[in-house]
Structure 1
Amino acid sequence: MPKKIIGLLVLAVMVAIVIIGAVQDNMAESEALDNMALGSNVDFLPTDEGLAKGEQAPDFQLTTLDGEAVRLSDYQGQKVMLNFWATWCPPCRAEMPHMQTYFEEQAKDENVIILAVNLTTEDRGLGKIEDFVEEFGLEFAIPMDEHGDVGSTYQAVSIPTSYMIDTQGRVQNKIVGPMDLAMMEQLVEDME
């Protein structure tokens, strides 16, 4: 009989841990959404950290989730929204629906390419990445930074981190934290 009680207690503790974890994830995602709505928790760092405004964005080549090679320099002449993210990141989850909406509604008209670089070395496996892309219906390119080199070069320490790169391949802004649709529209509009 005591073994059953101990077993039930262990089971109850495990269930409580799972519930607490789910609640914390939901709270973190809600907080990210609230911060996004308030415009806080987002830093514009055009000159102090990372690559300086006006500096040529370092070229890279990565393979997308779909197996296609993408090279940043191939998009010279177009504006590039370069985003670094991971599946476990609540602010990334909050930002992705806005990015997909921007892609669907405005990217073509504004001559904007979205490269959402998954920090694969920091993520939870290919299956989680594929599930994330499917969950949000993401249709833009998802390059995979399998060795962490590109994220390191672009100093994507906190995620999401995004760079706005102009048609000449120059950095115009670095954004640390989630963007919403209005921010994306304004940042693209402000690019030279």
Structure 2
Amino acid sequence: MNKKIKTLIYIAGFILLILVAVFGYNYLTERYKAPNSLGLPSGTNSQTPIADTQSPEPSLTGDEEGKEPQEGKGSQGEQEQEKEPLKAFDFTVMDHEGNEVKLTDYIGTPIVLNFWASWCPPCKGEMPHFNQVSEEYPNDELLFLMVDMVDGAGETTEKGKKYIADNGYTFTVLFDEKQEAAATYGIRSIPSTFFIDKEGYIVGVAEGGIDEETLRYGVSLILEE
């Protein structure tokens, strides 16, 4: 094998190595998003995410699943075209006393809606921040609704109640015993947090555990006049 052929082989190998490195970098960048970014739901154009890398948007079910927004008319696609904020969808869950409650029961107050489970490490990691911030506001000014993802096996209502009691958390805890809330909001992973203003519009969304700074920023969005 002469020197020219060897040189060409080395060059080809070097180019191949670069291509593999670029592909790997792009793949990992797409796969692993910044965990503390706060994204906006489709159709909202009045706020700016905390980071340039937005969290994946939730799959909110609408007309195609036979569900309508709490107020207003039109499909989600029409809302996007009109650049209108996205209305939160209603669901029914159980409260701590075993009574059925709906999200619409709480509309009129800004809401931090969080989906969690007691077996979930990221959920447990952000819980102290949620509890601390929730205790700074009366429930008629800001309401934290912490929806426990009850599946009857890995998570039960009893396990959720025990975890909350053991840690002395004081925010409002609800139990999604029929998985209706999770299905309505297309929850793919937990924790997931939705920031809903007093009119019932979703202003911000975060998938994955968030820190106190991100939480406070989300709260500031729904408390703005």
> What is the TM-score normalised by the length of structure 2?
0.61
Match of 1:44 in 2: 38
Partners of 2:94 and 2:174 within 8 A in 1: yes
Q: What amino acid maps onto 1:44 in structure 2?
A: L
User: Tell me, what secondary structure is at the counterpart of 2:119?
Assistant: coil
Cα deviation, 1:119-170, whole Å, max 9, x if unaligned, reads 1017432332122111221212211111112111112111000100011101
Post-superposition shift, 1:99? Answer: 0.7
Count of aligned residue pairs for this structure pair = 153
CA contact (8 A) 2:35 2:210 kept: no
Runs of 4+ in 1 over 6 A off after TM superposition: none
SS at the partner of 2:146? strand
Partner of residue 148, structure 2: 118
> Residue 79 of structure 1: CA displacement?
0.4
Amino acid at match of 1:50: S
Q: 1:178 aligns with which of 196, 209, 222?
A: 209
Deviation at 1:56, TM superposition (A): 1.0
Q: Which has the higher contact order (CA 8 A, sep 6+)?
A: 1
2:101 equivalent in structure 1: 70
Structure 2 distance, partners of 1:123, 1:65, is 19
Q: Distance in 2 between matches of 1:104 and 1:110?
A: 12
Kindly provide the CA deviation profile for residues 48-90 of structure 1, in whole angstroms up to 9, marking residues without a partner as x: 4434781111112221123243321122221000000011100
Specify every segment of 5 or more residues in structure 2 that has no aligned partner in the other structure, as ranges: 1-32, 43-56, 61-75, 77-83
Amino acid at match of 2:218: L
The CA distance in 2 between the partners of 1:161 and 1:171, in whole Å, is 13
Kindly report the root-mean-square deviation, in angstroms, between the aligned alpha carbons of the 2 structures.
Answer: 2.3
- Kindly tell me: are residues 180 and 43 of structure 1, through their superposed partners in 2, closer, same or farther at Cα, counting changes over 3 Å? closer
Aligned residue runs from structure 1 range 63-142, under 5 A: 63-105=94-136, 107-108=137-138, 111-121=141-151, 123-142=154-173
Which of the numbers 152, 157, 174 marks the counterpart of 2:183?
152
Match of 1:120, SS state, is: coil
Q: After alignment, is 62-71 or 83-92 more displaced?
A: 62-71
Contact 2:58 2:185 in 1 (8 A): no
Higher Rg of the two aligned structures = 2
1:60–1:41 Cα change, 3 Å: same
Does the aligned pair in 2 maintain the 1:165–1:171 contact within 8 Å?
yes
TM-score by length of 1: 0.71
Contact between 1:119 and 1:145, CA under 8 Å: does it hold in 2? Answer: yes
Alpha carbons of 1:123 and 1:170: their partners in 2 closer, same or farther (altered >3 Å)? farther
State the AA in 2 paired with 1:149.
Answer: E
Does the 8 A contact of 2:193 with 2:205 survive in 1?
Answer: yes
Post-superposition shift, 1:110?
Answer: 8.2
Specify which of 80, 85, 106 is matched with residue 54 of structure 1.
85
